[in-house]
Amino acid sequence: MALPSSSLTIGVIGYGEVGKIFAAGLRGQPGVAGIQVWDLRLAPGHAAREAEAAHARAAGLQPVDSAAALAQADLVISAVTASHTFEVAEEAARFLRSGALFLDLNSASPGTKQEAAAAIDARGAHYVEAGVMTSVPPYGIRVPMLLGGAQAAALAERLRGWDMDATAVAERIGVASAIKMCRSIMIKGLEALVIESYSTARHYGVEDQVLPTLAETFPSIDWQKQGAYFFSRVVQHGKRRAEEMRESARTVQEAGFAPLMAAAIADKQDGVAKLAREGVFAGIAKDAAWQEYADRLVNHVATK
């Protein structure tokens, strides 16, 4: 195993929602000596630098001024958006020490992960891909993850020692990400379908007739509650989800198929994210009913 048994230093690249959760959850775990975090918002001169650095220090973490400052880390975790997967791996390959592990949590296609692995492995470090199989916040660091790579089994054993839910599925890079991406097409597709269907039903005033038919066909799903959750997640994280779906589309293309559905899902997620940035959903409570989101969409269309 490439990781030392004690005095382990962890570096986290990407101090967003997932990066914050993983960094805080790994702090104080057996054998972890310290955790350093890096994000573009921690760069000197960035407007958010002081606030982000203060957040990190309050969590018992060490903010650093650049990715290169993680050069002595034993384990580097990449938790950025899908479109930056390879870029971050390529940058990390310039400073990672030989023998270090690079755990890529990002939602990217098998091809992207293979390109990232080639960059890391050429440095003498070890690339491990992770397919994070569901939303992180409800689970924290215990979110189910599938790992792939030559060091996947050994790293999964170490992560399970920290009470994480990590399972090695292959030594070959791309298997874990293929599982993740194929699942994402379904889950993000359901989000897009629900938003389009529910908003249209709300426009016509037929939601009280439509939703019971869904419940009859799929009685295990609470369509009111699920609808609210789907709307809220896309409004909050649509841009990130759209990037993931573009990687899902790339996954479909790499398999030789036309990514008609994946591309459309990405466009739908991106469209909702754009409206969120424009303030269409401003002021809606986090636990709001789906009807509040749908009404904003209906009103937005009506006033165009």
pLDDT in tens, 177-223: 999 999 999 999 999 999 999 999 999 999 999 999 999 999 999 99
| Res 108 pLDDT > 90 | yes
With tokens 């165009």, the residue in question is 304
What is the model's pLDDT at position 5?
Answer: 66
What DSSP state is assigned to residue 60? T
Contact status, residue 164 vs residue 139, Cβ threshold 8 Å: no
Question: Per-residue pLDDT averaged across 262-271, rounded?
Answer: 98
| pLDDT tens readout for residues 51-71 | 999 999 999 999 999 999 999
Contact status, residue 147 vs residue 167, Cβ threshold 8 Å: yes
In the chain, the domains with their CATH numbers are 8-172 (3.40.50.720), 177-302 (1.10.1040.10)
Q: In the structure, what pLDDT confidence band is assigned to residue 3 with cuts at 50, 70 and 90?
A: confident
Single pTM value for the model: 0.91
